[in-house]
Amino acid sequence: MLNLVQWGQLQALEVRPAKARRLCVMLHGYGANAADLFSLHQMISLGKNTHWIFPDGILDLGQAWSRAWFPIDVEALERALQQGTHRDFSSISSREFEAASDVVFESLKASLDQYEEVILAGFSQGAMLATDLALRTPGVSRLIAFSSNLIDEKRTRRISSERENKFSFFQSHGIYDPLLSLSGAKKLFEILTEDHHHGSWHEFSGGHEIPQTIIQSLNEWIKA
């Protein structure tokens, strides 16, 4: 059985080596929980000296082990799915999104001085949040964003341009993703690279997922 630990204000699963040089915080997507991405610590080649943290989302969705970081308009999402389109999150300014970022930021801030390197990663909603946190946290050196999208373009552009030291990031997206648009993901990539963050873009023939081919590309990026 996996045991939850306390990481700042959040409960989380962790893999803690005896001597940790690197921290990687992995944020799950909407409707999942801390265990959803836990197996990735065995697949991503960050080394044995990495302290992995997998936090639980702050919102309880009322179903067994189902959590989220911030609420979404489920009805609007379902309508878009029925119409074969995607929701555009770029104009959405959400207090709940900013509040979630603040909660994780406080937990992260207390950890920054303990490691030689800090990496943020996430999938879907978790990737949106990880991106926001990477932009507002100078101590983060790398970002891994699986199936992300541009949310609150005005805020993203502001905090991206304000960050003086630039980070490296890996971004992947399925060209047939039914939930989050490829165009929204590409727009996010363009904004970050325009501000001189060092991006590596990877699209694949698939949907809303993290295929093994993307894990392989990620490991090549890490080694490079």
The CATH number of whichever domain residue 74 belongs to comes to 3.40.50.1820
Question: Among 143, 139, 146, which Cα is nearest to 163's?
Answer: 139
Concatenating the DSSP letter of every residue in 47-78 gives: -TTEEEEEEPPSEE-SSTT-EESS---HHHHH
Please, are residues 185 and 192 in contact by the beta-carbon 8 Å criterion?
Answer: no
Mean pLDDT in residue range 163-169? 95
Question: In the prediction, which pLDDT does 1 show?
Answer: 54
Residue 49: give the domain boundaries: 5-223
Per-residue confidence (pLDDT) for residue 111, from 0 to 100: 86
Q: Which residue has the higher pLDDT, 90 or 183?
A: 183
Residues 36-84: tens digit of each pLDDT: 999 999 999 999 999 999 999 999 998 888 999 999 877 777 787 788 8
The region, left, alpha or beta by phi > 0 then psi within -120 to 50, assigned to residue 31 is left
Reduce the DSSP state of residue 128 to 3 states and report it.
helix
Whether the full predicted model's pTM is greater than 0.85, yes or no, is yes
Could you tell me what percent of the chain has a pLDDT over 70?
99
Domain count across the chain: 1
Residue with tokens 């937990």: 107
